[in-house]
Amino acid sequence: MFGWINDGLYSILNWIYSWVGNWGWAIVVFTVMVRLVLTPLDIKSRASMRKTTKLQPKLQELQKKYANDKAKLNQKTSELYKKEHINPLSSCLPLLLTWPILIAVFGAMRTVANRELLEQVGQILTGDAAKVNLQQWLWIKNLWMPDNLFSPAYPDLNTLRAIGADQWLNWFHGLQESGLPQVLAEMNLTDASFSGDQFSTTLQAIIDAMKGMGFYSEALTTIPGYTIPLINWSVPHLPNGLMLLPVLSAVTQIVMTKIMSAGQPQQPAANGQPNTGKFMQWFFPIFSLVICFGYSAAFALYWVSGNIVSMGQTFAINKYLDNKEKKSAPVAGEGSVR
């Protein structure tokens, strides 16, 4: 369903990289472009939220008046929305329309990450550390690996297992055209090696061959004494990052949630049930932290950049709507009889 959108966004991202020359900054530029495209939907959603907010006192009066008659409450609420020319779903619909785009963006990011990781595998198998092009960005040694102290800069077993067999086969075909590294040529691999039950055996053989490269094996070796008990997380000799992006993802998510909810009515908990609004305020930051901790730094960079751009957009949209309301507001004394 999202295939053609995914491919289109990947082409745009790749085009930006061809101009910028660094995947990290290409992702930042790409994020800004995506958010700008979604701006009209954001404006429509915020405007609808404002109308609904102003209607809250009247809605609360109806809730008190018809507290014991749900059918009548629904009828009067519907009449009020119709009278004020407000569609209660209009604030949600623009946000729902953005989901296909966001899903496709994540797919495009995953496509780039897989292709870059496989390219690094081919470079590692040459046996020359100088030929391995780790995509660095600021403190991060490899954008396609997670930004934390417990992930190595080089692609590891767990990361490579997440790449599909069809992508491995395309990678193999590309190496055949450019020239197979000697270690791969000695394996006598065929297309059948990347399908069915043979794929697992082939993947393990490739990983074992990578471990045979001294620089790769040393980089993945963990440092004695730097292990977290119980969960058994160890720091490798060449850690990929400092966990700054996952932390920033959670922090910016908290700030963005507060900014976007400012001025919006807080719905009281019903029948003694927990307030879902409060729950969601903390759920998304924790979710961001967990996701960005385990996914590639490129994905985390997109997430953080998106949050920061969204915060700036919210300020700008609020300013625009404020000015629009001031211009449309009646002037004091206008229409009075002299």
> pLDDT by residue (tens digit) across 253-279?
888 877 776 655 454 444 444 455 566
The total number of structural domains that make up the chain: 1
Query: Considering the domain boundaries, does residue 224 fall inside one?
Result: yes
Is the pTM higher than 0.75? The answer reads yes
How much is the average pLDDT of 123-128?
90
Residue 146 confidence (pLDDT): 92
Query: Considering the domain boundaries, does residue 246 fall inside one?
Result: yes
Please tell me the distance from the alpha carbon of residue 77 to that of residue 207, in angstroms, as a whole number: 63
Query: Considering the domain boundaries, does residue 253 fall inside one?
Result: yes
Highest mean pLDDT among 86-90, 97-101, 137-141, 229-233: 137-141
Query: Considering the domain boundaries, does residue 196 fall inside one?
Result: yes
pLDDT over 70 percentage in the chain: 83
Return the SS3 of 37: helix
Q: Is 270 exposed, middle or buried (0-12, 13-18, 19+ CB in 10 A)?
A: exposed
Which amino acid type is present at position 315?
Answer: F
Query: Considering the domain boundaries, does residue 337 fall inside one?
Result: no
pLDDT in tens, 283-304: 888 888 988 888 889 989 999 9
Of 245, 242, 21, give the one whose Cα is nearest residue 153. 242
Query: Considering the domain boundaries, does residue 332 fall inside one?
Result: no
What domain range is 213 assigned to? 3-268+275-324
Query: Considering the domain boundaries, does residue 25 fall inside one?
Result: yes
Query: Considering the domain boundaries, does residue 335 fall inside one?
Result: no
How much is the average pLDDT of 128-157?
90
Residue 94 confidence (pLDDT): 56
- Confidence bin at 90 (pLDDT 50/70/90): low
Residue 271 confidence (pLDDT): 47
Residue-averaged pLDDT of the chain:
81
Please tell me the distance from the alpha carbon of residue 335 to that of residue 20, in angstroms, as a whole number: 58
